[in-house]
Amino acid sequence: MDQNLPAPEAGVPLVVIGVVRSAHTEPETTPIQAALNRAGRAGHGIIEIAEPYREGLSGLDGFGYAWLLTWLHRPGGREGQAGRPPLRQVPYLLRSQQREMGIFATRGPRRVNPLGLSLIQLVDVTPETVEFAGVDVIDGTPVVDLKPYVTRFDRPPGDPPCGWFDEIDISDGSTPASLGPPSLGPAGPPA
């Protein structure tokens, strides 16, 4: 390894470029994925971009979708914050089965680095804000990056296998609370 590389485990600082304004205040009652919450004005969120970074929005209004990268500061709710997240967890969508998965095979929020990745539908891009459909994060969630959705880069050909997601039904608007009580074992929530 090059000597200039960060050593594994070294901390890497992130800059918060903005904040999400959403009607959701508790993870348990927030839709688990952006794609499950596109319908209706009530489902819209606003990204407020901090002043120093607003110029970076130039050109984003020509896109239909974008990737919202967030810092999930309250993964799994207040009680979910303490300590290192378990490497195997029962995803929200497998609560009824109480089946565990490795966290890199889930989309849940309790991760080694709690980075959220949401495909948001762009509704309105102003010089300071981004209004979007598909809110799956709570109010106040810090934003660390925005990238345009580019079909050529982001859509795999055909219908690829999607592991355990292929075995379950997923309803629009699913929230952790709608998917059953949290795990009773040492492995807490996620999707």
Which of positions 55-84 make contact with its own copies (CB under 8 A)?
55-67, 69, 71, 73-74
Does residue 147 touch its own copies according to CB under 8 A? Answer: yes
Does residue 40 touch its own copies according to CB under 8 A? Answer: no
In 3D, which of 9, 16, 57 has the Cα closest to residue 141? 16
Does residue 155 touch its own copies according to CB under 8 A? Answer: yes
Asked if residue 14 lies in contact with residue 144, where contact means CB atoms within 8 angstroms, the answer is yes
User: Which residues are bridge partners to 132 per DSSP?
Assistant: 45, 122
Chain residues 96-115 in contact with its own copies, contact rule CB under 8 A:
100-107, 111-113, 115
CB nearer to its own copies: give 19 or 177: 19
Close Cβ partners of 94 (under 8 Å, ≥ 6 residues apart): 100, 101, 164, 168
Chain residues 5-34 in contact with its own copies, contact rule CB under 8 A:
5-19, 33-34
Residue 140 Cβ vs its own copies, minimum distance, rounded to whole Å: 5
What's the token pair of residue 147?
Answer: 């990238």
CB nearer to its own copies: give 1 or 42: 1
Place of tokens 């020509």: 62
Asked if residue 174 lies in contact with residue 31, where contact means CB atoms within 8 angstroms, the answer is yes
Does residue 87 touch its own copies according to CB under 8 A? Answer: yes
Please state, in angstroms and rounded to a whole number, the distance separating the CA atoms of residues 120 and 38: 8
**Within 10 Å of residue 73's Cβ, how many Cβ atoms?**
15
Residue 4 Cβ vs its own copies, minimum distance, rounded to whole Å: 7
Interface residue with its own copies, options 42, 82, 162, 184 (CB under 8 A): 162
Interface residue with its own copies, options 28, 164, 177, 178 (CB under 8 A): 164
Q: How many residues bind its own copies (CB under 8 A)?
A: 82
Close Cβ partners of 165 (under 8 Å, ≥ 6 residues apart): 93
CB nearer to its own copies: give 14 or 181: 14
